Amino acid sequence: MNQAFLRPLLPLLLPPLLLAQLSPLQAGEAEARVHWHNRLELGFLVSGLISEVPVRPGQQLAQGAVLARLDGRIFAAELSAAEAALKAASLDQEEAQRELDRATELYDRGQLSDHEKQVAQIALAQADSRLEQAKAAQARAAFRAEQAVLRAPFAAEVLEVSAAPGQGVHPHCGPQTLLVLADAQQRQARFQVQQAEAKLQPGQPLQLQIQGRQLQGEVSALRPLPEYAGKEQGNEPGWEVDVVFSPGDLQLAPGSAIEVRW
C-alpha cells in the first residue's frame, strides 16, 4: 500500500502511547544556572559634577527612581538662556511678518518698489531661520537638563555603585559606568543542550524547579555554541538556552542551580 497515503492516517491508527514515542518533540530536562536578567550598565550622557547618589547596592527601585544627579545649576542657566533667546526670536519673527504684510499692502497699491518688498521678504526668512535655531537650542538645553538626572529605566535592583557626590563626569572621554542594574522582578536561567535535543523555540513555556518550588518560565533566546565546544567532548555542537522566569519571593543568587523541564 502507498506509504504516502498512510502517513496522514498514523495519528488515527496508532495508539497514543506509541505515537508519543514516535513524536520528534521529546520531553527533556537540564540543570541551569541562575543569572541576572536585563543587566544594564548606566552612566551620564552629559558632563558635570555629581551632587547626589541616593541608592546603594542591593536596593530595589521602582521605574523612574532617581539613581544619581548632577549639579543642576549650569543646566538650569543654559535652559533659562535658551528659553529667553527663543522668546526674543519669536518676537522678532512676528515683527518681521507684520513688516512683510505692510510691505505687501503698499506694494499692491503701487507705493513700494519690488526691491523694498524683497527686502521685507528676506528679513522674514532670516527671522524664521533664527526662530528655528532658537527652538533647536532650547530643545538641546532641555535635553541636557533632563539628562542631568539618572533614573531607573525599569523596576530594578542595584547591583553596583561606583559614583559618589563630588565626582566629575566626562562622557566625551569615553563610556563611564557609574551604576549597574538588573531586573528586580525576573531572573534568567541558562543551560546547554546538544543539537539533537534542541527542540526548543523562543517563547516556549518551561517548568523550573528549585528549593521544592515549581516555577513557570519562557524561552527568551537560543544561541548555537561554537563548533569546537562540542568537538572537544566528542559530541555534535549544541545550543545555549536562556529562560526568563519570575522567582517570586525566592532569593536566588546568580550561580544558583535550577532544574529546567520541557
CATH of domain 25-38+185-261: 2.40.30.170
User: What's the confidence (pLDDT) of residue 233?
Assistant: 53
Instruction: Tell me if 69 sits within 8 A of 51, measured CB to CB.
Output: yes
Question: According to the model, what pLDDT value does residue 234 have?
Answer: 56
Domain boundaries, the chain: 25-38+185-261, 40-70+149-183, 73-147
Give the burial string for 97-124 (b: 16+ CB within 10 Å, else e): eebbeebeeebeeeebeeeebeebeebb
Q: By CB neighbour count within 10 A (0-12 exposed, 13-18 middle, 19+ buried), where does 154 fall?
A: middle
Q: Do 24 and 199 form a contact (C-beta atoms < 8 A)?
A: yes
Burial group, residue 178, by CB count within 10 angstroms (0-12, 13-18, 19+):
buried
Residue with cell 534568567: 188
Count of CB atoms within 10 A of residue 76's CB? 13
Query: For domain 40-70+149-183, which architecture applies?
Result: Beta Barrel (2.40)
Q: Which bin fits 15, alpha (ψ -120 to 50), beta or left (φ > 0)?
A: beta
Quick one: DSSP state of residue 253?
-
The pLDDT of residue 199 is 77
Tell which residue, 128, 126, 106, has the closest CA to residue 117: 106
The hierarchical CATH code for the domain 73-147 is: 1.10.287
| pLDDT tens-digit profile, the chain (262 residues) | 554 454 555 445 545 444 434 334 346 889 999 999 999 999 999 999 999 999 999 999 999 999 999 999 999 999 999 999 999 999 999 999 999 999 999 999 999 999 999 999 999 999 999 999 999 999 999 999 999 999 999 999 999 999 999 999 999 888 899 999 999 999 999 999 886 566 788 999 999 999 889 999 999 999 888 764 545 555 566 889 999 999 988 988 899 999 999 8
